[in-house]
Chains A and B, each alone.
Chain A
Amino acid sequence: MAGATTMVGSKEAASARPRHVTETAPFRWIWITLALLFVGLILILPLLTVIIEGLKKGLEVYFAAITEPDAVSALKLTLIVAVIAVPLNTLFGVAAAWAITKFQFRGKNVMLTLIDLPFAVSPVISGLVFVLIFGTRGWFGPLLEEYHLQVVYALPGIILATTFVTFPFVARELIPLMQAQGPQEEEAAASLGAKGWQIFWHITLPNIKWGLLYGVILCNARAIGEFGAVSVVSGHIRGETNTLPLHIEILYNEYQFSAAFAVASLLVLLALITLIAKSAVEKRQQRLAASQKSIN
């Protein structure tokens, strides 16, 4: 199953290949078993463990754990953070990719490098940066204090840290795509008299929409699961600033193993939904590509 979905892209090509240039059957089978074994061991087994451990003490404990007020508030917080961080990064990602691939400007390379910064920096540092900026003793601390605004150890800090960490996903997904497409179609539209927004809505966006969606999904997955950066700025107030990953750690440290795994399975569920969305997007993309090919 898992092997099939990852190979979707090359399936057509593989089956179309003449017999004599492809590998021998035993060779193929060895590789396929190896890959499946690896997937089972590294991915499926831990996933099953989460669900089995969560259900170990029965359904009652399981549902008690996921309906407990602290767990519900952690889930809510996680979703709120994702709902804000992901669109923000989508807007930014599209803007950055557009600017970088369609225009020439000074500092383009610097910008390209900077976009990758959150990937290069440890998430703990990403969190700490915001404490140093917005903490009481930080740069803006006294000012915020004066207006009774709370950034770190509250929702805005958690959103900022998550946004920072998930910042590159959309842009990174779009830049190679837009680079490959080149500016010709937009130029053609412009020469026919289309205005900026018109070009964007009718040419650029349709061209990048699947790549964009894919970036958004990756961004979302990370936003939901982020631990390190959020841990630093959260303040760990139960029922208030604990996201799902932090809540799981707390439960685990309190010897409530079943509850910890039950809540973890909730996170797994969110991840699965994201992944299903992703593969649906991929399928649709392929169908589209195929239909375009047949038109040509």
Chain B
Amino acid sequence: MKKKSLVLVWLLLLTMVFAACGTKTAGEPKTEEKKDTASTTTKTEEAKTPSKDPVELLNVSYDPTRELYAAYNKLFSDYWQQKTGQTVTIKQSHGGSGKQSLSVVNGLKADVVTLALGYDIDAIQQAGLINEGWQKKFEDNSAPYTSTIVFLVRKGNPKGIHDWSDLVKEGIQVITPNPKTSGGARWNYLAAWGYALQQNGNDENKAKEFVSKLFKNVPVLDSGARGSTTTFVERGIGDVLLAWENEALLSVKELGKDKFEIVYPSLSILAEPPVAVVDKVVDAHGTREVSEAYLKYLYTPEAQDLVAKNFYRPILKGVADKYKAQFPELKLLSIDKDFGGWGTAQTKHFADGGTFDQIYSAGK
């Protein structure tokens, strides 16, 4: 008898949880319905105080922007609350840029995407979730901040690493994430490729040989930039980390100037991490207005200041001048001028059978 009742309780619990789960999965449309009825019943009240229902956004971003968006989300929700009286909560998801892009294509319901490079947003556009011409929607190719690729080495630079040519030397361990999944890694790869082209009078075969040698010196390929940083910084693997400038500056700040130093190579690449509104999702959620405002606000002086404080290069001239000391001037390659844009670069280097596949499978 006792056992019977135990099982009964169990079954009851199970059905309850399932019911709860059911309402949750069908959550979005249902809660909206509820809100509708609620708003009709309290219409008189609402007329007095013009506050809107709270809204929630999902920002799907790449790996190293965690600290930036944690700070920016607070700034924006305060601004939005003051401006419209509406409470906005922004949820974050971080991971390797390519992986994140794929998740959105596979159904992760992002209102906005803030990824490491244009191609990853192009991929979402190709899946039909973002309208064409997204890169023209916001200023500066929809890239509200830029960065570049630098080297992080252990204090005192014991292996004497000063430029790309030092990375292919024997006995040097280089840490970089996987270009297949990480945006930063693709910028790393192209910077190395561009350097090799320049050294060898634009000889593509020589460039291929150079990056092939470089990747033979890579002991671990993590899937995202932050994973690689942890490998280098925490696990103490490798002599040099190819990193986003912002990631390198953050590591030095978090873990002490006495442990690491930054090396600026003779040539690097101008990395433009772009942002976009996911049209199909915001239209379904009814969050277009706030999503667009969210990305637009990134270009304001307040936000740009936050950008610089989180070690990204601000796009706004005034703020960039203020933080000049933090970001040394560098010779930078451009994805559009030197590599023919992301579409071309992606097909040539990172698609299946591209140069990365060729050198990596040959190398192993």
Mark A residues whose CB is within 8 Å of B.
80, 83-84, 87-88, 131, 134-138, 141, 145, 147-156, 159, 201, 205-206, 209, 235-240, 250, 252-255
Report the bound CA distance from A196 to B106 in whole Å. 46
Query: Given A137-B127, A153-B103, do A237 and B25 touch, yes or no (CB 8 Å)?
Result: no
Report the bound CA distance from A235 to B60 in whole Å. 9
Q: Which residues on the B side are within 8 Å of A255 (C-beta)?
A: 254-255
Please give the distance in Å from B68's CB to the nearest CB on chain A: 12
Q: Which residues on the B side are within 8 Å of A136 (C-beta)?
A: 105-107, 127
Q: Which residues on the B side are within 8 Å of A131 (C-beta)?
A: 106
Please give the distance in Å from A69's CB to the nearest CB on chain B: 11
Report the bound CA distance from A150 to B227 in whole Å. 29
Q: Which residues on the A side are within 8 Å of B287 (C-beta)?
A: none
Given contacts A151-B25, A156-B25, A237-B58, 8 further A-B contacts (CB under 8 A): A80-B17, A136-B106, A150-B25, A201-B3, A235-B103, A237-B93, A238-B91, A252-B230
List 17 contacting pairs A-B, 8 Å CB cutoff, sorted by A: A88-B14, A135-B106, A135-B107, A136-B106, A136-B127, A137-B107, A141-B107, A149-B26, A151-B25, A152-B107, A205-B3, A238-B91, A238-B92, A238-B93, A254-B67, A255-B254, A255-B255
Partner of B25, one of A84, A149, A240: A149
Q: Which residues on the A side are within 8 Å of B103 (C-beta)?
A: 153, 235
| CB-based nearest A residue for B89 | A239
Mark B residues whose CB is within 8 Å of A.
3-4, 10, 13-14, 17-18, 21, 24-26, 28-29, 58, 66-67, 91-95, 103, 105-109, 127, 226-227, 230, 254-255, 284
Q: Which residues on the B side are within 8 Å of A209 (C-beta)?
A: 3
Query: Given A201-B4, A240-B91, do A84 and B21 touch, yes or no (CB 8 Å)?
Result: yes
| CB-based nearest B residue for A87 | B14
Contact, CB under 8 Å: B230 / A253: yes
Contact, CB under 8 Å: A137 / B255: no
| CB-based nearest B residue for A153 | B108
Partner of B107, one of A84, A153, A253: A153
Report the bound CA distance from A156 to B66 in whole Å. 26
Q: Which residues on the B side are within 8 Å of A153 (C-beta)?
A: 103, 106-109
Closest 7 CB pairs of A and B: A135-B106, A136-B107, A153-B108, A235-B108, A236-B93, A255-B254, A253-B226
Contact, CB under 8 Å: A150 / B21: no
Report the bound CA distance from A63 to B3 in whole Å. 39
Report the bound CA distance from A136 to B226 in whole Å. 28
Please give the distance in Å from B1's CB to the nearest CB on chain A: 9
Contact, CB under 8 Å: B230 / A150: no
Report the bound CA distance from A252 to B254 in whole Å. 13
Please give the distance in Å from B23's CB to the nearest CB on chain A: 11
Contact, CB under 8 Å: B254 / A152: no
| CB-based nearest B residue for A206 | B3
Contact, CB under 8 Å: B26 / A236: no
Q: Which residues on the A side are within 8 Å of B24 (C-beta)?
A: 155
Report the bound CA distance from A80 to B3 in whole Å. 24
Contact, CB under 8 Å: B3 / A84: no
| CB-based nearest A residue for B250 | A255
Report the bound CA distance from A30 to B359 in whole Å. 54
Please give the distance in Å from A296's CB to the nearest CB on chain B: 24
